[in-house]
């Protein structure tokens, strides 16, 4: 069993969060995973790096499994910034609702490039259309 420090832990999805697989017609393909062309979402990748450099434990997951997530992390050059790669959980057992312990629920969209809260903020956020506040990280 591996035990991680009691630092902030953040979770990032792979598909359509770190890599866009269905980019617009003017997008420039800059990553291939198993021959599949995609566009790395630079702003979201920067958020991963900033969290890790700040001391957070970074978990990357995918509904497509941990092997797929690992391939994407490797293709994006994020291996030094990611602590754990797993399959996205489909079930959890706890006496609390996930919203009570996950702290922040953030929807990252194609045009979002930052997280509009201070690191100590623990409220839930839906940041669709939010203004960039990446410098606060």
**More confident call, 102 vs 74:** 74
Q: Is residue 30 part of a domain?
A: yes
DSSP 96: S
Q: Is residue 1 part of a domain?
A: no
Number of domains in the chain: 1
What band does 124 get if pLDDT is binned at 50, 70 and 90? very low
8 Å CB contact between 51 and 33 = no
Identify the domain containing residue 35 by its residue range: 9-136
pLDDT in tens, 50-77: 999 999 999 999 999 999 999 999 999 9
Residue 122 pLDDT exceeds 50 = no
pLDDT in tens, 106-120: 666 544 444 433 444
The CATH number assigned to the domain holding 75 equals: 3.40.50
Span 20-27, mean pLDDT? 83
């Amino acid at each position: 069993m591996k035990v991680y420090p009691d630092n902030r832990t953040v979770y990032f999805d792979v598909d359509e969060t770190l890599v866009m697989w269905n980019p617009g017609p003017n997008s420039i393909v800059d990553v291939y995973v198993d021959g599949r062309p995609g566009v790395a979402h630079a702003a979201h990748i920067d958020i991963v790096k900033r969290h890790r450099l700040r001391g957070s434990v970074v978990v990357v997951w995918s509904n497509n499994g941990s092997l797929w997530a690992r391939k994407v992390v490797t293709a994006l050059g994020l291996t030094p910034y990611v602590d754990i790669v797993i399959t996205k959980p489909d079930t959890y057992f706890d006496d609390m609702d996930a919203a009570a312990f996950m702290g922040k629920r953030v929807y990252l969209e194609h045009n979002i490039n930052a997280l509009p809260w201070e690191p100590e903020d623990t409220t839930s956020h839906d940041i669709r259309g939010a203004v960039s506040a990446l410098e606060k990280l």
